[in-house]
Homo-oligomer: A and B are copies of this chain.
Amino acid sequence: MLIRRLKQNSDDFDVQLKRLLNREDDQRRVTTVVSNIVADVRHRGDQAVLEYTQRFDQRVLNSIRDITIDHDALQKKLREYESAAQWKQSIFALKQAAERIQDYHQRQSLLAWSYVDSHGNELGQRITPLDRAALYVPGGKASYPSSVLMNSIPARVAGVPHLTMTVPAPQGELNPLVLAAAAICEVDIVYTMGGAQAVAALAYGTESIQAVDKIVGPGNQYVAEAKRQVFGQVGIDMIAGPSEILVVCDGKTPVEWIVWDLLSQAEHDEAAQSILLCPNVSFINEVEKEIERVLKTSTRAEIIRKSLADFGALIEVQSLDSAMEVINQIAPEHLELSFDEPEKFLPNIRHAGAIFLGRHTPEAFGDYCAGPNHVLPTSGTARFASPLGVPDFQKRTSLIRCSVEGAKHLASIALPLAEVEGLEAHAKSAQCRS
* B107 pairs with A420, CB closer than 8 A: no
* A357 CB–B CB distance under 8 Å: yes
* B366 pairs with A416, CB closer than 8 A: no
Chain B residues lying within 8 Å of A239, measured Cβ to Cβ, are 231-232
* A192 CB–B CB distance under 8 Å: no
Chain B residues lying within 8 Å of A360, measured Cβ to Cβ, are 402-404, 406-407, 433
* A298 CB–B CB distance under 8 Å: yes
* A397 pairs with B354, CB closer than 8 A: yes
* A369 CB–B CB distance under 8 Å: yes
Which residue of B is nearest A235, CB measured?
B384
Chain B residues lying within 8 Å of A123, measured Cβ to Cβ, are 104, 370-372
Contact with B along A64-103 (1 / 0, CB 8 A): 0000000000000000000000000110011011001001
* B386 pairs with A395, CB closer than 8 A: yes
A394 to chain B, nearest CB (A): 8
- In the complex, A56 Cα to B383 Cα: how many Å? 32
Contact with B along A399-411 (1 / 0, CB 8 A): 1111110110011
* A117 CB–B CB distance under 8 Å: yes
* B145 pairs with A383, CB closer than 8 A: no
A338 to chain B, nearest CB (A): 11
- In the complex, A228 Cα to B233 Cα: how many Å? 12
Stretch among A125-133, A183-191, A315-323 lining the B interface = A125-133
Chain B residues lying within 8 Å of A103, measured Cβ to Cβ, are 117
* A368 CB–B CB distance under 8 Å: yes
Chain B residues lying within 8 Å of A244, measured Cβ to Cβ, are none
Residue from the list B362, B381, B404, B406 in contact with A433, Cβ < 8 A: B362
* B383 pairs with A130, CB closer than 8 A: yes
* A382 CB–B CB distance under 8 Å: yes
A355 to chain B, nearest CB (A): 5
Stretch among A2-10, A12-20, A166-174, A423-431 lining the B interface = A423-431
Question: Which residues of chain A from 338 to 388 have any CB-CB distance to chain B below 8 Å in the complex?
Answer: 342-343, 346, 350-358, 360-373, 376-377, 379, 381-387
Question: Which residues of chain A from 289 to 321 have any CB-CB distance to chain B below 8 Å in the complex?
Answer: 298-300, 304
Write the residues of chain A forming the contact surface with B, with a CB cutoff of 8 angstroms. 89-90, 93-94, 96-97, 100, 103-104, 107-108, 110, 113, 115, 117, 121-123, 125-126, 128, 130-131, 144-146, 177, 213-214, 228, 231-232, 234-235, 238-239, 241, 254, 256-257, 260-261, 263-264, 266-268, 298-300, 304, 342-343, 346, 350-358, 360-373, 376-377, 379, 381-387, 389, 391, 395-404, 406-407, 410-411, 413-414, 416-418, 420-430, 432-433
Besides A232-B379, A360-B406, 6 other CB < 8 A contacts?
Answer: A97-B417, A264-B426, A267-B426, A357-B400, A362-B432, A391-B391
> Would you give 10 A-B contacts (Cβ < 8 Å), ordered by A?
A97-B417, A232-B379, A235-B384, A263-B425, A264-B428, A304-B425, A355-B398, A362-B432, A363-B429, A370-B402
